[in-house]
Amino acid sequence: MKNEYKFGQFIKISRAVLLTVCWIDVIAVWVLTFVYRSDQSKTVMIVSVCVGLLVFAITSLCVLEAIRSRFVDKNYGKVSKTDRQMAKALLFELSDIMICGYDFVKLDENDVRIIKDSLRIIARGHKVCKESVGKYLELTELINNSDKRDLPVNEKFNAYVINYVELVKNNLSDV
């Protein structure tokens, strides 16, 4: 995931540079043809060099876009509105599980699925990705190391759930 993020950043920067080159190139053609309009040979040379640069930049942009669409997930770093709404619904279910009581809660298979699904969905967003993935791994380990039918909610588990709920509430406020 880290390499995918770096590659995505490289493509974003490259795209910005190439678009800047395109705009500078277009402006340069316009200004230089106006300045050298009396000298026909210089105008032709300048225009041909600028058009060559423009074609190169546009071709590079197309290649970058093809690479990005092929190798980089288009939704990386973004959480769609549908996913946010689904995560919010899962969050309320998770809150219900937590509110049942701090001394004793029975988590069935469905509760475990809710926790895992909501953490997976939230982990798609770059703002909470690292924290959510960390919490997901710790929760999964905690759940896998205990009996899934009767998981006592200890202080460690409560802290994970409370932190997770707060983290999600803070990052889903725009839904």
Residue ranges per structural domain of the chain? 2-71, 81-171
Task: Give the pLDDT mean for 87-103.
Answer: 52
The more confidently predicted of residues 143 and 66 is 66
Q: Does residue 128 contact residue 77 with C-beta atoms inside 8 Å? A: no
Whether the pTM exceeds 0.75: the reply is: no
Q: Which tens digit of pLDDT belongs to each residue from 48-63?
A: 787 787 788 778 777 7
Residues 58 and 64: their CA atoms lie apart, in Å, by 10
Q: What is the pLDDT confidence band of residue 153, given thresholds at 50, 70 and 90? A: very low
Q: Does residue 68 contact residue 92 with C-beta atoms inside 8 Å? A: no
Percentage of the chain with pLDDT > 90? 0
Residues 125 and 147: their CA atoms lie apart, in Å, by 31
CA neighbor of 142 nearest in space, from 126, 124, 155: 155
Lowest-confidence region among 36-45, 58-67, 103-112: 103-112
CA neighbor of 103 nearest in space, from 38, 157, 56: 157
Contact residues for 139 (Cβ-Cβ < 8 A; gap 6+):
115, 116, 119, 157, 160, 164
Average pLDDT of every residue of the chain: 62
